[in-house]
Amino acid sequence: MASDKFQPPKGMKDIYPEEMAARQAIFSTIREIMKRYSFKEVEPTKIESFETLAAKSGEEIEKEIYAFEDKAGRKLGLRFDLTVGMARMVAGSAYPTPVRWFCIADMFRYEAPQKGRYRAFWQWDAEIFGSASVYADAECIALGCDVLKAFDVDFEVRVSSRKLVQAVMEAVGIERDKILDAFRCIDKLQKMKREELLDEFERRGIMREKAEDLLDALDLKGEFEDVVEAVKSRVQSKDVNSACDELLQLRDALEALRVLENCVVDLSIVRGLDYYTGIVFEAYATNRKALGSAIFGGGRYDELVGIYGKDMPAVGLAGGVERLMEVLKAEGKLPEVSTSPDYFIAFVTPQLMDVCASIASKLRGKGYAVEMELMDRSLSKQLKHANRIGARYVVIVGPDEVKEGKVKVRDMESGEEKLVKVDEL
């Protein structure tokens, strides 16, 4: 067993063959759904300039960036999400809009590890650049719904609007220079008790009375029409009305895309990244509330691409692979993918290794997964090993059979053996 001295760093994990096979099956399903929505696969660089990463991430994420200097003294960082990199990429390209890109890749955040969350983790991510249509927002939500439906997950998508929440903030008297601070407080709503949250507002210079009015106004969750009516009855302003109209347009788009039944409005959802500007959403597994974290989330960020040189509306979503796997594992729905070989090639004597290698090469050329004996064990131990690794068939290469151009093939399920011509394998 490896020494504790050589274990992975805190928050990191190794991925062994069985888990990797399950992950690849998940990635394959997600890629198929992306294809249906006509998304093209890309991958931004893992290492970005720190300035690129910090441009619009927000103070909390900036603290979590793995930052370092290279040998030339340049300040760099490991990507913490995929949106920033893709926004930078699209700003420097000339693809026809809307640009529809996706990526499945790993990223890094120096945050407290917890169940389903690591400091090195994987996400699937899809972005639509160039469209201001509410149907682009709805397509992202529908895409996320289709991914979870493909894995038979019971879920709920909670939809909100940063435009609406900001309009409510302004209506209750929160100063413009405190808007981002208020968003950061609201993002902690599900993690902190109300009194603790009110203390957090005060620490950020927002009067407790205004914070209470804001939380009361945002304590709404339900059907689109019901929430819109409730907000308008509590807060009257032109901006509130405009944001409410946009939510109702989204509702119609979600209905047309046949995912409205999976969605509710929850105004406490604002997302933690500063680059969001409009509709935002998060999906939660309804049967796995103990997991706590969203299994996908996203929203509109119309100002981010402009930071990197090209003004362009955009919307996207991302889902945590480890979180999805936690849900699937808990519900007994994690893909079971065999890592066992189709054939194991055993020999009676080591002098027949060349024949074994030739047979292995032939079977691999036909597309079979083949493992051959490499440990110079006795035949009985080879057969035990073949059984242990789950080989479907064992080809036994013996000197007498080889003289006749034949080998024995054992069916490991039935135990039946038969002589087969090497040319017929």
Q: Which domains does the chain have, with CATH numbers?
A: 10-330 (3.30.930.10), 343-424 (3.40.50.800)
Please check whether residue 394 is in contact with residue 346, taking contact to mean a CB–CB distance below 8 angstroms: yes
Please check whether residue 308 is in contact with residue 92, taking contact to mean a CB–CB distance below 8 angstroms: yes
Q: How are strands ordered across the β-sheet holding 296-300?
A: 40-41, 99-108, 120-129, 314-320, 296-300, 279-285, 155-161, 263-266, 221-222
Please check whether residue 85 is in contact with residue 105, taking contact to mean a CB–CB distance below 8 angstroms: no
Tens of pLDDT, residue by residue, the chain (425 residues): 556 788 999 999 999 999 999 999 999 999 999 999 999 999 999 999 999 998 877 777 788 999 999 999 999 999 999 999 999 999 999 999 999 999 999 999 998 877 667 899 999 999 999 999 999 999 999 999 999 999 999 999 999 999 998 888 888 888 888 888 888 888 777 777 888 888 888 888 888 888 888 888 788 899 999 999 998 988 888 988 999 999 999 999 999 999 999 999 999 888 867 788 999 999 999 876 656 678 999 999 999 999 999 999 999 999 999 999 999 999 999 999 999 999 999 999 999 999 999 999 999 999 999 999 999 999 999 999 999 999 999 999 999 999 999 999 999 999 999 999 999 99
Q: What is the pLDDT of residue 290?
A: 53
- For residue 224, which of 270, 259, 189 has the smallest C-alpha distance? 259
| Residue 266: Cβ within 10 Å count | 22
Please check whether residue 360 is in contact with residue 372, taking contact to mean a CB–CB distance below 8 angstroms: yes
Contacts 24+ apart (CB under 8 A), 172-177: 172/210, 172/213, 172/214, 172/217, 172/235, 173/210, 173/213, 174/206, 174/210, 174/214
- For residue 276, which of 133, 161, 148, 394 has the smallest C-alpha distance? 161
By three-state DSSP, how is residue 128 classified? strand
CA angle in degrees (0–180, nearest 5) for 150-154-159? 100
- Alpha-carbon gap, residue 344 to 382, rounded angstroms: 9
User: Regarding beta strands 343-347 and 393-397, do their DSSP bridges make them parallel or antiparallel, or are they unpaired?
Assistant: parallel
pTM: 0.89
Look up residue 256 and give its amino acid.
A
- Alpha-carbon gap, residue 272 to 291, rounded angstroms: 18
Buried b (16+ CB within 10 A) or exposed e, 143-152: bbbbbbeebe
Residue 221 phi, psi dihedral angles, 5° rounding: -150, 135
Q: What is the pLDDT of residue 116?
A: 63
Buried b (16+ CB within 10 A) or exposed e, 208-236: eebbebbbebbebeeebeebbebbeebbe
Q: How many CA atoms lie within 13 A of 271 on its CB side?
A: 27
Residue 114 phi, psi dihedral angles, 5° rounding: -155, 175
Look up residue 244 and give its amino acid.
C
